[in-house]
Structure 1
Amino acid sequence: MKIFHSITSCAAALATAAAVSFTGMAVAQEFPSKPIHIINAFAPGGATDTAIRGLTKNSDAFIDQPIVIDSVTGGGGVAGILQAAQAEPDGYTLLVADTVLTTLALFQENLPVSADDFRPIGVFNLRGAWFLTRPSKNWKTLDEFVAAAKEKPGELTVGVPALSSPQHLAIIAIEDTYGIDVNIIPYGGGAPTMAALLGDQIDAAMPGVPAGLDSINTGDAVFLVASTDLELVKFKGDLTSFADVGIPHDLGIWTAVWAPKDTPDDVMVRLSEIFGGMAQSSEWIDFAKSYGVTPIWKPLDDAAAYIASSSKSMSDLAKLIK
């Protein structure tokens, strides 16, 4: 009887495992059966919003269901990120977020959400940030801005998309390199940061590319320096990067699509197939280059390793914050 019981239990276990495996395969094959929503935690019209809309513009070639972009702003990105983290981990509510997702904890303690609440589906672009001002300030170079900042310590105002953003860290790098102190103001995205600059509310701004591109080309904004090489950006004037002026930090900004951490493996693989197809399509590559961002595709584990390396660099720079 004991032997018979053991054999029966083994058979039952195998049957259960097969059923689970089959169910997983069925889920993956049927997914998605309804629209996928992607939460953008930053302002519409900014770099992250532009990137995800550009990526998903030709989604119907890779998925039979619509992809809907939902803007959920507030708290420097925390509101939207938290909503995405609390969503059902079924693959139907995702998050698009750039490097700021991994830098939030460097600036704010006891946050209700972090990058550990998500799994990366894939990194799909790499861009930089640029330091801009208005023609009325009469600063044509970074050195001229630095001279003005030294004359008025702590008085010049500089806008950034969020206090926990790579753009914020880029300003910290400038402060540390030149020994200056500026008043950093967060605006909840690249578009409102540029609106504040053009509206004469701040003296300078560090938005992520491509925010501000049209303003530079029309002469309404003046380019001073970029946080990294921007060889793909088509704007009027000469490119100067941090490396060119002796700032010892290269601050590229990646953008990724994320899923809640408990999303099943088979759904993650399917999502990676869908977004990988879009990220490697000629439509997205052409769109990305037209905006001056570098199209890349690093899925799942490769994305996690890439993000971890980037986070280490940002963490080291965050230690310079006064």
Structure 2
Amino acid sequence: MRSSRRQFVLGTLGAATAFGPLRAFAADFPERPITFICPWPAGGTADTTMRALCVAAARTLGQTIVVENKPGAAGMLGLRQMAMAKPDGYTIGQIPVSVTRFSQLGSVQLDPLKAFTYIARTSGQTFGIAVAATAPWKTLKDFVAHAKGKPNGVTYGSAGIGGATHVGMEEFALAAGVEFNHIPFKGGSEALQALLGGHVDALADSSSWAPHVASGKLRLLATWGEQRTAEFKDVPTLKELGYNVVVDAPNGIGGPKGLEPAVAARLREAFKLAAVSPEFKAACARIDAPLMYLDGPDYEKYMAGMYRKETQLIERLKLKELMVKG
């Protein structure tokens, strides 16, 4: 009996020693700047909104959040780097929802249901199809009619193979009965420059095109949300034009799997406040991005649902074949 009691006391002391530093670490977190990996090029819509979000979250955390751009592979290169980081809360980043697709296509060796600690879903994106203001197509109907008469002859740029803009455009092409010639880039900003430079006929992107549409350099043929955007109320959605395609691809924040629960809670609190901050709201408003906040646990459930939906989409669009074609 005395021996059992002695073992219990020693075990209790051992547990206190083992977990004490973790609790102390969580209480003091963060003690130094945090690195935020944005898996897209600087200057794009995701980069702009994530930087505003990080400025606001840093205020709550009392430490600087340093944004590092790690573009490539439609957002998967930076995401993989974040997932492989030490799970101490000092490396976090944006999680593109397209990881639910790429993981099933085999282009990234990550299981999105097991690889991350989900912190917050923050905002959606306003996608659209834009062409040069000098292009002969005044409406989406004109654009589709031209494409039907010229299979694979109409080019469009996107942020990369298999990303939301590529898949959304191919889903639209399937619904419209046309075939486009896809030209992938490392990010939306590069695709935008290709359109402005006359190197592609159209651009499928989140609202990097917005200021250029407003200035008259580009023409917006359609947006991809459930409803028309606040800034471009005269532009119809794909859905109201008869194509049952809706794409909003919400952005989210996460860290590597295994974050100390208290650290994750601290980050969740900071990004919850950041999601309603004036600077983040202003950044989203500038690109017509809808606010779509979800706390970590609900965001994780959302991603699980998206994973199941992507399984069906991969089959319907024959995405594995599209990936091979490039």
TM normalised by structure 1 equals 0.91
Q: Distance in 1 between matches of 2:55 and 2:107?
A: 37
With 16-25 and 252-261 compared, the bigger mean Cα shift is at 16-25
Q: Distance in 1 between matches of 2:7 and 2:66?
A: 47
Q: 2:251 aligns with which of 255, 258, 263?
A: 255
CA, structure 1 residues 21+297, in 2 after alignment: closer, same or farther (shift >3 Å)? farther
| Partner in structure 1 of residue 106 of structure 2 | 109
Partner secondary structure for residue 250 of structure 2: strand
Partner secondary structure for residue 108 of structure 2: coil
Q: Distance in 1 between matches of 2:53 and 2:107?
A: 33
Partner secondary structure for residue 151 of structure 2: coil
CA, structure 1 residues 49+234, in 2 after alignment: closer, same or farther (shift >3 Å)? same
Q: How many residues align?
A: 317
| Partner in structure 2 of residue 23 of structure 1 | 21
| Partner in structure 2 of residue 243 of structure 1 | 239
Deviation at 1:77, TM superposition (A): 2.2
2:287 is the counterpart of 1:320: no
| Partner in structure 1 of residue 210 of structure 2 | 213
Q: CA contact under 8 A between 2:73 and 2:161: conserved in structure 1?
A: no
| Partner in structure 2 of residue 289 of structure 1 | 285
Deviation at 1:272, TM superposition (A): 0.8
Deviation at 1:128, TM superposition (A): 2.6
With 71-80 and 270-279 compared, the bigger mean Cα shift is at 71-80
Q: Distance in 2 between matches of 1:60 and 1:180?
A: 47
Deviation at 1:188, TM superposition (A): 1.6
Deviation at 1:318, TM superposition (A): 2.7
CA, structure 1 residues 312+113, in 2 after alignment: closer, same or farther (shift >3 Å)? closer
Q: Please list, as runs of the form range in 1=range in 2, the aligned pairs for 1:57-96 lying within 5 A after superposition.
A: 57-96=55-94
| Partner in structure 2 of residue 136 of structure 1 | 134
Q: CA contact under 8 A between 1:173 and 1:247: conserved in structure 2?
A: no
Q: Distance in 2 between matches of 1:59 and 1:110?
A: 32
Q: Distance in 2 between matches of 1:14 and 1:24?
A: 16
Deviation at 1:21, TM superposition (A): 4.5
Deviation at 1:34, TM superposition (A): 0.7
Partner secondary structure for residue 305 of structure 1: helix
| Partner in structure 2 of residue 311 of structure 1 | 307
| Partner in structure 2 of residue 269 of structure 1 | 265
Q: 2:298 aligns with which of 287, 302, 313?
A: 302
2:221 is the counterpart of 1:224: yes
Q: Please list, as runs of the form range in 1=range in 2, the aligned pairs for 1:147-158 lying within 5 A after superposition.
A: 147-158=145-156
2:228 is the counterpart of 1:234: no
Q: CA contact under 8 A between 2:171 and 2:317: conserved in structure 1?
A: no
1:182-208 Cα shifts (integer Å, max 9, x gaps): 111211211111111111111111111
| Partner in structure 1 of residue 321 of structure 2 | none
With 29-38 and 13-22 compared, the bigger mean Cα shift is at 13-22
Q: Please list, as runs of the form range in 1=range in 2, the aligned pairs for 1:169-180 lying within 5 A after superposition.
A: 169-180=167-178
CA, structure 1 residues 268+59, in 2 after alignment: closer, same or farther (shift >3 Å)? closer
Q: Match for 2:52: what amino acid?
A: G
Q: Match for 2:239: what amino acid?
A: A
Which 5+ residue runs of structure 1 have no aligned equivalent? none
Q: Distance in 2 between matches of 1:300 and 1:202?
A: 39
Q: Distance in 2 between matches of 1:233 and 1:92?
A: 37
Q: CA RMSD in A?
A: 2.0
Q: Distance in 2 between matches of 1:302 and 1:178?
A: 35
With 71-80 and 247-256 compared, the bigger mean Cα shift is at 71-80
Q: Distance in 1 between matches of 2:279 and 2:38?
A: 21
| Partner in structure 2 of residue 10 of structure 1 | 8
1:267-295 Cα shifts (integer Å, max 9, x gaps): 21111112112113243224323331122
Q: Match for 1:135: what amino acid?
A: A
Q: Distance in 2 between matches of 1:19 and 1:285?
A: 44
Deviation at 1:310, TM superposition (A): 3.0
Deviation at 1:230, TM superposition (A): 5.4
Deviation at 1:165, TM superposition (A): 1.3
| Partner in structure 2 of residue 159 of structure 1 | 157
Q: Match for 1:39: what amino acid?
A: I
Q: Match for 2:72: what amino acid?
A: G
Partner secondary structure for residue 136 of structure 1: coil
CA, structure 1 residues 60+264, in 2 after alignment: closer, same or farther (shift >3 Å)? closer
Q: Match for 2:262: what amino acid?
A: D
With 287-296 and 197-206 compared, the bigger mean Cα shift is at 287-296
1:120-145 Cα shifts (integer Å, max 9, x gaps): 11111112311111123211211111
Q: CA contact under 8 A between 2:103 and 2:109: conserved in structure 1?
A: no
Partner secondary structure for residue 42 of structure 2: coil
